[in-house]
Structure 1
């Protein structure tokens, strides 16, 4: 895990010299967690996860000079990822509204050891809106505090808490709890 100072040094090197090796270290550091988050956000769509992760890192590299250091790089990166995901969702909705054929549903294959637990998690995540899913994943899967989720999503703290609360109720209904 990179220290805050190592992270800042890598970012500075990227911003000043366009160092691809420095950015590669950031990608190696944050890619697994970002990809896991996106894989859950997309309900197991590996192809979409790959596309969103690639777009996220490309956008981060292209705009690294705009990173102000007001938060950790991971926070900034996850914010880009969420924006990329929401842009994809908006585009898909617009395509459906334009009368294009609906995107085929891809069968989810979870790489979890306990397949039943994976199926249960997928069922729970599937009943949530995109916003609720993103907040739940950041809070429970990525173990981020609410204040960090506020920075990533740009939502007020009360809204984040409301989404978490509503999501818990919806997920409980999946199992009639």
Structure 2
């Protein structure tokens, strides 16, 4: 087995849960779509493995790949006249077999799904308990700007959850 294969298997084992969680947040709780995007993220990771320069941690690098994969899917789905993610999510929430995390989690994912794409990414990383420095590196903003954004995102989520 080559070094890339060993490294990839280690990255997959270590970071798949994180990647899947972020994809679920981006896809507003649609677990099947999140699974597809998590797999796509690791296909992209495999393709980019030789390009990893080591300027960030593997975790930060894989978060960037996850973010780019999800954002590309969202942009592509808007141009292909597919069923909007909001409708996918509503259809999914009507299927009781997919409500294994309960209504509270579904409501949270619905509220997160109403955020803009970057805010969704930030709050998913906060929920994953990433260090603020790592989040700031992934998003490309300063830590102080990140703290302000997180405060605003939390305030917005509270409002959205109150209104549901």
Q: TM-score range by the shorter chain?
A: 0.7 to 0.9
Given that 1:75 and 1:148 are in contact with CA atoms closer than 8 Å, whether structure 2 keeps it comes out as yes
CA RMSD of aligned residues (A): 2.2
- Residue aligning to 1:57: 42
Larger relative contact order (C-alpha < 8 A, sep ≥ 6)? 2
Q: TM-score, normalised by structure 2?
A: 0.81
Gaps of 5+ in 2: none
Counterparts of 2:66 and 2:120, CA distance in 1: 14
Given that 2:20 and 2:38 are in contact with CA atoms closer than 8 Å, whether structure 1 keeps it comes out as yes
Aligned partner (choices 91, 94, 101) of residue 79 of structure 2: 94
Decide which structure has the larger Cα Rg and report it.
1
Which digits, 9 at most, give the CA deviation of each residue in 1:15-34, with x for residues without a partner?
Answer: xxxxx243112211111121
1:43 is displaced (CA, Å) by: 1.2
1:159 is displaced (CA, Å) by: 4.3
Aligned partner (choices 74, 97, 108) of residue 59 of structure 2: 74
Counterparts of 1:84 and 1:49, CA distance in 2: 11
Taking the TM superposition and a 5 Å limit, the aligned residue runs for 1:1-177 are: 13-14=3-4, 20-95=5-80, 100=81, 102-103=83-84, 104-105=87-88, 106-108=91-93, 109-112=98-101, 115-139=102-126, 141-174=127-160, 175=162
Given that 1:146 and 1:157 are in contact with CA atoms closer than 8 Å, whether structure 2 keeps it comes out as yes
1:124 is displaced (CA, Å) by: 2.6
- Aligned residue pairs, count: 153
Q: TM-score, normalised by structure 1?
A: 0.75
Counterparts of 1:52 and 1:101, CA distance in 2: 16
Counterparts of 1:107 and 1:29, CA distance in 2: 28
Given that 1:131 and 1:163 are in contact with CA atoms closer than 8 Å, whether structure 2 keeps it comes out as no
Gaps of 5+ in 1: 1-11, 15-19
